[in-house]
Amino acid sequence: MDQETKIQEEKNVNVKKAKVGDMIEVKRGQHKGKTGEVLIVRDNSVIIQMGISKKTGEPVKTVVNHKNYKRVI
């Protein structure tokens, strides 16, 4: 195993990924402080639904990197 692979594995151990259905709070970016439900989990990020648009009635979704959220109980 090369050095880069070891570093990548150490980073993955430190980041606790959310699961589908979990509620998370965004820590950084445009949506800082908002909460949402995890819809899809990807390798480096999650897709969350933050609510429903009042104007269109469509769900409001965004992508959040695993480093930029915390799970809410």
Q: What digits encode the pLDDT tens for the residues 24-38?
A: 999 999 999 999 999
Q: Where are the domains of the chain?
A: 3-72
| More confident site: 15 or 20 | 20
Residue 14 has pLDDT above 60, yes or no: no
Residue 13 has pLDDT above 60, yes or no: no
CATH of domain 3-72: 2.30.30.30
For the whole model, what pTM was predicted?
0.76
Under a CB-based contact definition with an 8 Å cutoff, are residues 70 and 19 in contact? no
Residues 6+ apart with CB under 8 A from 70: 24, 25, 27
Q: What digits encode the pLDDT tens for the residues 41-53?
A: 999 999 999 999 9
